[in-house]
């Protein structure tokens, strides 16, 4: 029903933000609520989840994150709370890479995801996460660089840190790797 809400973030909690627009505060569940600065204006891309016992808004910083969230909801056994937990636990490029590489062990590290859920995610989403679902050309380059770092033995935590810091840049794979090394050596 709502594509996005443009408003001021007036409150952040561990699982949600409050976005005020035209005097109305919208309670929006978010995978990363502390990334929003208080009293700053944001365009929050929203997904409204309605069931007989709940009517909730879920919000994301980008359309790609929202699209991946919706894709995760299409997986048998994955609801909004687990989908949010998945997005909060990893970066888009790494999640897409894990699904495409059928990396069950990576997915099992995500809270709330066991062996069966990891297999179901791969079964339902492998090959369906095209560039339109969050990995544009620049992110393909970043994805390749992150895979290279993992292959070189860097931990998931280190790779996640690099992905977050370099995610908004548009570089070649080699440039991403060089910048990643600079960040990791600090």
User: Considering the chain, what is the average pLDDT of its residues?
Assistant: 85
Burial annotation 23-46 (CB, 10 A radius, 16+ → b, else e) = eeebebbbbbbeebeeeeebebbb
Alpha-carbon Rg for the chain, nearest whole angstrom, is 17
Confidence of residue 145 (pLDDT cuts 50, 70, 90): confident
- What pLDDT, on a 0 to 100 scale, did the predictor assign at position 139? 64
Phi-psi region of 4 (alpha: psi -120 to 50; beta: other; left: phi over 0): beta
Provide φ and ψ at 183, rounded to 5°: -65, -40
Considering the entire predicted model, what is its pTM?
Answer: 0.69
Summarize pLDDT for 44-67 with one digit per residue, the tens.
999 999 888 889 999 999 888 898
Alpha-carbon span 23 to 11, nearest angstrom: 14
Cα separation values, 182 from 66, 108, 110, 143, 177, Å: 31, 30, 27, 17, 9
**Percentage, residues of the chain above pLDDT 90:** 44
Confidence of residue 136 (pLDDT cuts 50, 70, 90): very low
User: Does 113 have pLDDT greater than 50?
Assistant: yes
User: Does 6 have pLDDT greater than 50?
Assistant: yes
């Amino acid at each position: 029903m709502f594509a996005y809400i443009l408003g001021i973030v007036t409150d952040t909690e561990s699982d949600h933000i409050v976005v005020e627009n035209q005097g109305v505060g919208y309670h929006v569940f978010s995978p990363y609520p502390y990334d929003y600065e208080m009293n700053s204006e944001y365009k929050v891309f929203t997904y409204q989840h309605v069931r007989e016992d709940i009517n909730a808004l879920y919000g994301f910083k980008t359309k790609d994150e929202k699209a991946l969230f919706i894709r995760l909801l299409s997986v048998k056994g994955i609801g909004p709370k687990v989908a949010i937990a998945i997005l909060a636990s990893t970066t888009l490029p790494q999640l897409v890479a894990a699904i495409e590489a059928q990396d069950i062990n990576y997915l099992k590290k995500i809270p709330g995801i066991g062996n069966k859920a990891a297999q179901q995610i791969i079964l339902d989403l492998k090959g369906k996460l095209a560039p339109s679902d969050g990995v544009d050309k620049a992110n393909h380059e970043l994805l390749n660089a992150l895979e290279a770092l993992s292959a070189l033995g860097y931990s998931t935590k280190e790779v996640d840190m690099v992905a977050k810091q370099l995610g908004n840049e548009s570089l070649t794979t080699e440039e991403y790797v060089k910048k990643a090394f600079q960040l990791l050596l600090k």
